[in-house]
Structure 1
Amino acid sequence: MTGERVALTCHVSTADCGEFHNIKWYKDGERVFVYSERASVQRAERTLKDRASLRVHPSKSYVQLIINPVQPGDEGRYKCDITYLQVKDECTVVQFLNLTTIAKPRYMKVAVEYRNDNATLNKTTLVKDNPVIGPFHEGREITLTCEAGGGKPVPRVTWWNSTKSVVGDYRSSGDSNGVGTGVNTIYFVISRADLGLRLECQAENEALKEPLVFALSMDVYGDRFSPRQVAMHGGERSKVTKKTEDKLKQVNESYSSGKYGGGHKQEHYRPFMKTA
């Protein structure tokens, strides 16, 4: 995991092969560390400079190259090259290890795009989970783009409506170290059924135990309709109760007081309501 400590182990056979003069470590063919107790040398080089050290076990049965903190570019094939004082055919002098690095996404955000009545494009970037977006008028076309970046492997980004996956336009990009960004965009036209709609964007990769979640809900308003229309919303032919009428009245009062922007006259527009 990037940002953490990793130890690469190289086995040494001093009991059978005698003392060693030096040990060199290579990454993808380039030397990154050299150690020699006899020459009083212990030095990290190139990409591991200032981030690596060598630990020799007291029994001298193995040594460990310590990398701290791990960076995405540390992934690769490492070679441990041992030089013994005496050369023996039965002694292994070269060992190889593969290091794979993973990283959690560094950020997650959602962008909301829509056009006003005058066709002006509005774009808002949300960085805080669980906001309420809107209010949007029925029929408004909106675009929601979720982005998670800085992860390795590149984060997989998906949209969800409750337990159902929402089909979106997914794309990704990454750098030479495999660190990248995942983006998923969904498009839809607002309807009265979207009032209170809860959407979730989820990002996941192998570095995460649980997906990152960005939740938001929808606020919707539209042309005025009667309490009976409210009660029948969704196809339910339920009797209009006093509770329903009071609820509609409360929302209408909130609207007229300016909660929904005050840009429309009360007699023309009302927030949509859903019945339980």
Structure 2
Amino acid sequence: MACFHNKVVNALLVIGGFASVASATTDSTTVVWAVAGQQANLPCRPAAKLPGDQPVLVLWYRTSQTLPIYSYDARNGDFSSGVRWTDNRTFGGRAYFDAKVTPPALTLNPAHALDEGQYMCRIDYRTSSSTNSLVNLNIIISPGPATIFWKGRETEQGTVGPLQEDERASLTCRSVGGKPSPTVIWNFGKDAIAPTDTKFNFDPVTGTYTVESTITVTAERGMVGHRLTCSAHTSIGGQSRDASNKPVVRSRSASVSLDITLPPLNVQILGSESLVVTAGSEIKMSCRAYGSHPPAKITWWKDDVLLEPFVTYRVGPDGNATAMLRMNVSAEDDRGRLTCQARNPYLSQEPLYDVTQLIVYYPPKVTLSLGPHLQADDIKEGDDVYFECDIRANPSFNRVEWFHNVS
């Protein structure tokens, strides 16, 4: 390889008649953008000055060096079947010149950050004088992972909080290691959020940037169940006229949800305003609390008695809690007041409640007794005796019959 390299250099000196890359006259300049770790294509378009002339030798230089770093030699055959040589100290095995594409191009796969710089492509022809073109290769380093911080600490499990309603929170999104300097965008759903502060820091050792973007948000009920997202991306819009030269740079994103403590908005016993049942039967009633976060704690009461042993509790996909009451009723429960209470156990607000009346149907219950001023052991023949008949029934009775000595 060393011998071939010397032949190429000698050919350059004899054919081209110049010894300095810096002094060469260039015919065109192309700007190329590539992402580190992906493929870079450096075009080198033949432009023979005489009709029908053919290229025979392609030499690639870094403009900061005087010797070629890559060559494509087709002097002994067709241009599509030339001999390739590369300087292993520069590209190793990553470089390949493709003479069959239009325009021919030197491909670097993968491109490295240190490949960035200005390159010159020299093309020699069988008859025409040589042409030189410059390629400014810009290497993009993808942004590092986006990380969200709250109160100076990285957020855990994608959650910020707990927060009180209307509490303000400052969130910072950090991305380390991009070049050019990444742009950080905050979104709530489809809505963009303007940052309150943005900081950039350049690391001269790695040649990359760290960017921090801070927003301040107010915890509102409408934010529950939605996520705040920050995205770090590298924008090269407008820096290359050729859209094909604009590589796709993957955005790095992170998102968090706000854990906002909210009281319930409403509590409702599902069903009619009053419940009519028959003594001895089982009732099933549900009470639902809406809008609490975390889900509300629901309790059932009969008058002033807690009915906790008879209640089952569940939370729906919408975050609303439901408590089902199952209990057997008796005549003593008639006209009782069933109350459902809901409250957020993490807040000090008074609970919300809904009330329904329990109406129990049962057959008449009769209690017969002597008049209040009579004593059974002091009644003599001929005395007036009267009785009291106490009747409890629902629905109310409509007829009373008296019997004597009837079993």
SS at match of 2:142: coil
Q: Equivalent pairs: percent with the same residue?
A: 24
Q: Which runs of 5+ in 1 are unaligned?
A: 114-121, 232-239, 255-265
Match of 1:186 among 212, 215, 235: 215
Report the 3-state secondary structure (helix = DSSP H, G, I; strand = E; otherwise coil) of the residue aligned with 2:289: helix
- Given that residues 251 and 271 in structure 1 are in contact (C-alpha distance below 8 angstroms), is that contact kept between their aligned partners in structure 2? no
Structure 1 match to 2:85? 42
**2:295 equivalent in structure 1:** 251
Shift of 1:91: 1.7
Equivalent residue number for residue 269 of structure 1 = 346
The equivalent position to 1:69 in structure 2, one of 92, 107, 110, is 110
Tell me the TM-score normalized by structure 1: 0.61
- Is the counterpart of residue 10 in structure 1 residue 44 in structure 2? yes
* Aligned: 1:172 with 2:200: yes
Gaps of at least 5 residues in structure 2 are: 1-33, 77-82, 236-246, 271-286, 299-342, 350-407
Summarize the Cα distance change of 1:249–1:29 in structure 2 as closer, same or farther, 3 Å threshold.
closer
Distance 1:98 1:5 in 2: 15
- Once the two structures are superposed, the pairs formed by residues 1-276 of structure 1 within 5 Å of their partners are 1-2=34-35, 3-12=37-46, 13=48, 16=53, 19-20=56-57, 23-30=58-65, 31=67, 33-35=69-71, 37=73, 42-57=85-100, 64-82=105-123, 90-113=128-151, 123-126=153-156, 131-137=158-164, 142-168=169-195, 169-175=197-203, 179-187=208-216, 195-196=224-225, 198-206=227-235, 208=248, 212-221=252-261, 230=265, 241-242=268-269, 246-247=289-290, 248=292, 251-253=295-297, 269-270=346-347
C-alpha displacement of 1:194: 5.9
Which residue matches 1:257? Answer: none
Cα distance change, pair 7–211 in 1 and its aligned pair in 2 (3 A): closer
CA RMSD of aligned residues (A): 4.4
Q: Structure 1 residue 97: deviation in Å? A: 2.2
CA displacement 1:209-244 (0-9 Å, x = unmatched): 78554332111237xx6x5xx35xxxxxxxx64479
SS for the counterpart of 2:171 is: strand
Amino acid at match of 1:70: A
Q: CA deviation at 1:80?
A: 1.3
Offset of residue 147 of structure 1: 1.7
The number of residue pairs the alignment matches comes to 230
Q: CA 1:271/1:175 → structure 2, altered by over 3 Å: closer, same or farther?
A: farther
Larger Cα-atom Rg: 2
Secondary structure, aligned partner of 1:153: coil
Q: Is the 8 A contact 2:232 2:251 kept in 1?
A: yes
2:62–2:119 contact (8 Å) kept in structure 1:
yes
Structure with greater helix share of residues = 1
| Alpha-carbon distance change, 251 to 55 in structure 1, aligned in 2, over 3 angstroms | closer
Shift of 1:26: 1.6
Could you say if the C-alpha distance between residues 208 and 81 of structure 1 is closer, same or farther in structure 2, counting changes exceeding 3 Å? closer
Once residues 66 and 267 of structure 1 are traced to their aligned partners in structure 2, the CA distance between those partners, rounded to angstroms, is 64
Relative CO higher for 1 or 2, CA cutoff 8 Å, sep ≥ 6? 1
The Cα of 1:201 is off from its aligned counterpart by 1.6
Q: Matched residues in 1 for 2:103 and 2:150: separation?
A: 56
TM-score, normalised to structure 2, is 0.44
